[in-house]
Amino acid sequence: MDVLTVPPVTHAQARVDLAAVRHNVSLLAEHAGGAELMAVVKADGYGHGAVPVARTCVAAGAARIGTALVTEAIALRDAGITAPILAWIFTPGERPDEALRRDIELSAGALWAIDEIAAAARRTGRTAKVHLKVDTGMSRAGATLDDWPALLQHALAVQAEGSIEITGIWSHLACADTPENPVNERQLAVFDQALRIADKAGVSSGVIRHIANSAATLTLPAARYDMVRPGIAIYGLSPAPRHGDFGLRPAMTLVARLSSVKRVAAGAGVSYGHTYVAERATTLGIVPLGYADGIMRAGSNRLEVLAAGRRRRIAGRVCMDQFAIDLGDDPAEPGDEVILFGPGDHGEPTCQEWADQLGTITYEIVTKIGGRVPRIHIGGR
């Protein structure tokens, strides 16, 4: 990584290290064994920038790209991503024509979805590539085992007309972040049963079978099948923190520059509600990021950042656009860089530490970093 290529921080930036993404993809590919890797870049690449991340993952060996929404998949295609893309959320009334014209694969877990996709195929003259979704116990999208034979029959009938091609059968695990949970084995058993039913119904053996998210890719070899679908681990965040970091490297460093530094007298109340009061005369630094940028208000008087060489707790309430830190008598100037979280290399908190402090998961923190924070990609090739 060439430091000189890093654009200067204006008020703040989310620095995304694509070399870390490459490292994580290689590590996941090792865990995947012979299974293909689908890099999940929904929600703007978990807040990291979907297009540069997708490009990096494909260059690092990911065979496919996964998104939640059809619109996300379309944006990737229009940005020049040529790898196969699957979008798995499909809502009634959605017109998948644009997706089919861009060779985007879709998921169907109900009869109406097959019908809507087939109608779009007829309108566009394309054959829709469809992954049939079975609900093995997550109780989110997909056909339950009871409804599965009817879904298969319908899909096969529509396939015979040439409107769709069944290219995958898939499901999603509810408890993969606790590998010891017996629910995982139960879901895999239901998945195997669904695959046997599909085989008997005459679905060709060439379909891609997939169920594993990051946690399953790293901890449940039996869940690999033909393809794995890691998301969070690509970004270097552990999908099962109680089981360690798996050698993943966090890609995002969130930095900002102090917008104000000033002395205040003992007894000064800080920010809304004066929930922090300076015990003695001190220096306050203002960080120009707030809850509108994804710095959760629950982090008031709780989260730490690295500023002027030390960890400092957020002082007082997080506002919409800024928060304060108490610098004591340490020297600091407006424009000094503050690291909110990162890989931890410089003593800064990690996203995992923030998640633990907030009682949430890292997924929520990185996906909430707002649109006002520029994403700067470094370590690209």
Ligand X SMILES: *Cc1c(COP(=O)(O)O)cnc(C)c1O
Q: Which residues are annotated as a binding site for substrate?
A: 140, 320
Structural contact between residues 51 and 247, judged by C-beta atoms closer than 8 angstroms? no
The reply on whether position 109 binds ligand X by CB under 6 A is no
The reply on whether position 133 binds ligand X by CB under 6 A is no
Residue 129 designated active-site:
no
The reply on whether position 211 binds ligand X by CB under 6 A is no
Structural contact between residues 283 and 262, judged by C-beta atoms closer than 8 angstroms? yes
Tokens in use for 80? Answer: 């020049």
Complex with ligand X: residue 25 or 284, whichever CB lies closer: 25
The least distance separating ligand X from the CB of residue 282, rounded to whole angstroms, comes to 41
Q: Binding segment for ligand X among 95-103, 218-226, 230-238, 317-325 (CB under 6 A)?
A: 230-238
Complex with ligand X: residue 31 or 312, whichever CB lies closer: 31
CA torsion sign, 47 to 37 to 103 to 211? negative
What single string gives the DSSP state of each residue in 137-191?
SS-SSSB-TTTHHHHHHHHHHHHHHTSEEEEEEE---SSTTSTT-HHHHHHHHHH
The reply on whether position 107 binds ligand X by CB under 6 A is no
The least distance separating ligand X from the CB of residue 48, rounded to whole angstroms, comes to 12
Residue among 105, 53, 63 nearest 83 (CA): 63
Q: Binding segment for ligand X among 96-104, 231-239, 272-280, 293-301 (CB under 6 A)?
A: 231-239
The reply on whether position 285 binds ligand X by CB under 6 A is no
Member of 15, 172, 312, 317 binding ligand X (CB under 6 A) = 172
Pairing of strands 269-270, 276-277: antiparallel
Residue 42 designated active-site:
yes
Q: Which of 42, 129, 225, 276 is catalytic?
A: 42
The reply on whether position 229 binds ligand X by CB under 6 A is yes
Residues 6+ apart with CB under 8 A from 319: 271, 272, 290, 291
- Helices marked H in the chain — which ranges? 18-32, 42-46, 50-59, 70-78, 97-101, 111-124, 148-161, 182-201, 214-219, 351-358, 362-368
Alpha-carbon gap, residue 134 to 62, rounded angstroms: 24
Task: Decide: helix, strand or coil at residue 287.
Answer: strand
Alpha-carbon gap, residue 154 to 116, rounded angstroms: 13
Complex with ligand X: residue 88 or 354, whichever CB lies closer: 88
Alpha-carbon gap, residue 177 to 160, rounded angstroms: 39
Member of 190, 232, 251, 351 binding ligand X (CB under 6 A) = 232
Member of 109, 168, 231, 250 binding ligand X (CB under 6 A) = 231
Residues 6+ apart with CB under 8 A from 263: 281, 282, 283, 284
Residues 6+ apart with CB under 8 A from 66: 38, 39, 40, 41, 42, 85, 86, 87, 88, 229, 231
Complex with ligand X: residue 246 or 341, whichever CB lies closer: 246
Q: Binding segment for ligand X among 92-100, 189-197, 232-240, 258-266 (CB under 6 A)?
A: 232-240
Q: Binding segment for ligand X among 110-118, 184-192, 198-206, 228-236 (CB under 6 A)?
A: 228-236
The least distance separating ligand X from the CB of residue 104, rounded to whole angstroms, comes to 15
Q: Which of 46, 133, 235, 272 is catalytic?
A: 272
Number of residues that bind ligand X (CB under 6 A): 13
Complex with ligand X: residue 231 or 290, whichever CB lies closer: 231
The reply on whether position 230 binds ligand X by CB under 6 A is yes
Complex with ligand X: residue 24 or 282, whichever CB lies closer: 24
Give residues 43-82 in contact with ligand X (rule: CB under 6 A): 68
Contacts with ligand X by CB under 6 A lie at 40, 42, 68, 88, 172, 213-214, 229-233, 239
Residue positions annotated with a catalytic role: 42, 272
